[in-house]
Structure 1
């Protein structure tokens, strides 16, 4: 496969076929750097050498009634994850300062829930208004489960810039991961977010036992939604979940191939290396910045991660720079 010719086509406004995307995931290790270079050419055109940093705040923990098999915050998971209701406005606003202190472009408020109730939605909206007053250049992302158009409009009116709602996996593999809601419900929420004018952050999780074709199908489903941002997570099996104790099937090279494939399929989207980055990529984290242009720093929802100073050093050592707030 001529990887440069694929990037040439994409740089000229063309697209990649499903067969070519699958070939990226099946490519041999000796061609990996060629694949990475081809993906970097596209990343460089749209994002230069900048890396956008995001900081997560778990605003409601361990209270989700859904049965997502990978999630330690499901009420069906048997673990000691901290469980609490929606945080106060004050605590959520306080968390935004940590994002500012780490030069984060976005502050992401995430709640473990099927859908926000009226009081929870009001808390998020009030917190967003106050954060925007204190930090007008900090972008706000919220992840609150399933949305109606009315709820999405309230978030938009309050100043939320982006809504996260991951598809997680392909339509075909989805029933193996979640049974308490279906793939179409996720698609519907993603479309509602776009319809009301919110940026759509929508990605998935690799390493759950899905096929290579499932990974490709997810990438094309995201392209069909015209997503603005794609977080790519790699399974880090959590205690109390069905995946705990199972080895992660992904090698660092597999993860890099997956990121490159996602860049080829969604060339203009912000591509973020998300949960599982440190454990899956290990010593190859800096190479992930060639297809991807964004990371989470200072941990995830129920798991720790690298501190900001370490991430900053990786970014700078690789010759990239942190994208500052506008």
Structure 2
């Protein structure tokens, strides 16, 4: 474990992991896993203390997507049975957002299916942001609307959006294996457009789609080159009716290794445990909080998550506290104060009952703190 002790000391001093170190994390033996989690936990606590940032998804428009992303229950031709509905009105979306904020969410993520927004869609989002801001002035608003065109990031920023999410998902060399209707370069370009337009960039990955250790390292370092402010780590939910149905390649131990690798590549950046954490981490979910500093609260876009009350109990039981709305993250606070920070097994049984499709709309019927 000398390798990881040396790595941690370098990260705390402002350095970053190398590709070889990232591969070593992914290849560590089960007997060393808790030591790796502890090492990642030292980095996480140094930069983020005992705080956990809660993010809450509001699905503005669901289904009928023209893109063919193989992992997605809303993809072109999917027979997943996922909810399908057109744009929510601003008041409906604000009601859904309020449920998350009431439970402690610091960021509301507004998501809409489709290739990318039209100018009319940007206007819709602007009205929704206004409705949310009327109730929750200090909440962060993130938009996830697909591929951005010229000037759209700037319009979203002017509308009050703080950040934009668009994931790279996997390594560039294998992107065509999971999607043919747009390219990896399209995705990277959207992240750059978001940053150039004054939005905080949120971009991450999906694990469990047949990728190798090298693929995971490649996408992590490609993300680092884009310098996102938050990195969501998703674990494939193998929806029936999609090309990846029945693909159960992840174990809880593998998920923890992936999270630790991402933490070492992004020592002072928000790392979020995102979709699939409940079904893949299972009873090891609390350990993930010692590596990542953010989670999604409650349900996801088209699948049910863990009950919001259980999320909050898990955070408290693990010795963490919820980061308050309007409170700066510790790296941001340290930067403001002039303190330097760093740079940016056997598969589980294929049990379809683990994946529960959402049968509600945007989430208003089930407040996450109920």
Which TM-score tier does this pair reach, normalised by the shorter chain? over 0.9
- How many residues align? The count is 325
Runs of 4+ in 1 over 3 A off after TM superposition: none
Unaligned runs of at least 5 residues, structure 1? none
Shift of 1:233: 0.5
Please provide the CA RMSD for this pair: 1.0
1:87 aligns to 2:77 (yes or no): no
1:180 aligns to 2:177 (yes or no): no
Residue 97 of structure 2 corresponds to 96
State whether residues 39 and 291 of structure 1, in contact with CA within 8 Å, keep that contact through their aligned partners in structure 2. Answer: yes
Shift of 1:58: 1.0
State whether residues 151 and 197 of structure 2, in contact with CA within 8 Å, keep that contact through their aligned partners in structure 1. Answer: no
Residue 319 of structure 2 corresponds to 319
Residue 52 of structure 1 corresponds to 53
| Residues 166-315 of structure 1 mapped to structure 2, 5 A cutoff | 166-246=167-247, 248-315=248-315
| Residues 87-126 of structure 1 mapped to structure 2, 5 A cutoff | 87-126=88-127
**C-alpha distance after superposition, 1:18-70 (max 9, x if no partner):** 01100100000111111111111111111111000111011110121010000
CA distance in 1, matches of 2:155, 2:31: 50
SS in 2 for 1:172: helix
CA distance in 1, matches of 2:176, 2:259: 24
State whether residues 63 and 85 of structure 1, in contact with CA within 8 Å, keep that contact through their aligned partners in structure 2. Answer: no
Unaligned runs of at least 5 residues, structure 2? 327-370
Shift of 1:245: 2.2
Residue 154 of structure 2 corresponds to 153
Shift of 1:130: 2.2
Shift of 1:73: 0.6
State whether residues 153 and 198 of structure 2, in contact with CA within 8 Å, keep that contact through their aligned partners in structure 1. Answer: no
State whether residues 91 and 131 of structure 2, in contact with CA within 8 Å, keep that contact through their aligned partners in structure 1. Answer: no
**C-alpha distance after superposition, 1:206-262 (max 9, x if no partner):** 00001111011111011101110011000110011011123x111101000000000
Shift of 1:110: 0.5
Residue 134 of structure 2 corresponds to 133
**C-alpha distance after superposition, 1:185-205 (max 9, x if no partner):** 100000011111111110010
Shift of 1:99: 1.5
CA distance in 2, matches of 1:149, 1:294: 31
CA distance in 2, matches of 1:166, 1:70: 13
Q: Normalised by the size of structure 1, how large is the TM-score?
A: 0.98
State whether residues 61 and 112 of structure 1, in contact with CA within 8 Å, keep that contact through their aligned partners in structure 2. Answer: yes
State whether residues 63 and 75 of structure 1, in contact with CA within 8 Å, keep that contact through their aligned partners in structure 2. Answer: yes
SS in 1 for 2:16: coil
